[in-house]
Amino acid sequence: MRDVAKRAGVSISTVSHVVNNSRPVSNSARQRVIQAMDELGYKPNALARSLRQQKTNSIGLIVPDSANPFFAEVARGIEDTSFDQNYSVILCNSDGNLDKQAIYTNLLIERQVAGILFVAAGVSTELVDDLHRRRVPLVIIDREIPNVSVDTVLTNHYQGGFLATQHLIDLGHLRIACISAGSELSPSAERVTGYRDALETSGIAFDQSLVVRGDFQYESGYHAAHKLLQKEAPPTAVFASNDLMAVGCISAITESGMRVPDQISVVGFDDVKLASFSNPPLTTIAQPKREIGELATEILLARIQDLDAPQRFERLETSLIVRRSTCKLKRN
């Protein structure tokens, strides 16, 4: 650090403030320090830095809906892995709101968390850029943020949408509806693209009127199903882009006096524990929820140790879980 200071023509404390981002430093001084560190091959000692920064042994987790069992099951993988590494987890709920996400992010930084895991509310790069500037270790889960270099762990949502729809096509269904969660959410958009490509790969024309927007909540699946049942030619199968909407969909179909799957087959997405106990048990696309949490935590802990390690981007596989909410199309 002394050599860096001398080369950069600044004090040792200025070098420390640049390394620890602990006080504002003029851009020219910051650039001279960074250049000197590069030229001298100086790598700040992560452990020493964390002690100087008084970083706590805690990590922040921000999710869009802590009541959604998908995030709860991912959080379980995060908490177990963190606890084994002597880290505690602070759970925050953004409600998918960018402002609330920013409030919690600042609160976590004030609490001097060692790093942050978050499921992005929207695709704003501003927060990621800010955390990079503040040299806060960060891993994105579930929803890709384009055009930023940040550690990311998610599943192949497109593959899952294709698998779900192909399963229904294999059962003989031709009029297959889709309950989405809005194209602004990349997991939903990618699943709908997989749905559409599966139809077109089998020579089934894509019908936009069979795609109804939900919001990943039970109620939106329920209302979407009622809307589909009112169509002149209702679907014989529904792909709901998460399990909660699939359960809401089944509720509406049953309430209308029809039977799942005899009259309408339903497929969900996530394979949360609820899926096994719905009535009928839900055919769905499994996301490796615990593995997502474990892997994201391992990557974050490695980033805490070395801020300058190469970026990680992990896309995990989904799989089809066939239960009793789907069956072959019955010809009337």
Binding site for ligand RIB (CB under 6 A): 68, 70, 142-143, 187, 216, 242, 244, 269-270
Query: Strands across the sheet with 88-93, in order?
Result: 88-93, 58-63, 115-118, 138-141, 151-155, 313-316
Considering beta carbons, is residue 36 or 224 the nearer one to ligand RIB? 224
Considering beta carbons, is residue 151 or 270 the nearer one to ligand RIB? 270
DSSP string, 196-220: HHHHHHTTPPP-GGGEEE--SSHHH
Least separation in angstroms between CB 181 and ligand RIB:
7
Q: Which residues contact 281 (CB under 8 A, 6 or more apart)?
A: 275, 323, 324, 325
Alpha-carbon distance of 65 to 290, in angstroms, equals: 17
Least separation in angstroms between CB 196 and ligand RIB:
18
Alpha-carbon distance of 246 to 5, in angstroms, equals: 61
Least separation in angstroms between CB 74 and ligand RIB:
8
Considering beta carbons, is residue 136 or 244 the nearer one to ligand RIB? 244
Three-state DSSP state, 302:
helix
Cβ atoms of 164 and 319 closer than 8 Å: no
Least separation in angstroms between CB 318 and ligand RIB:
10
Considering beta carbons, is residue 69 or 172 the nearer one to ligand RIB? 69
Least separation in angstroms between CB 179 and ligand RIB:
12
Least separation in angstroms between CB 104 and ligand RIB:
18
Cβ atoms of 265 and 325 closer than 8 Å: yes
Considering beta carbons, is residue 44 or 268 the nearer one to ligand RIB? 268
Q: How far apart are the first and last CA of the chain?
A: 80
For 170, the token pair is 């294999």
Place of tokens 């309408």: 264
Considering beta carbons, is residue 114 or 198 the nearer one to ligand RIB? 198
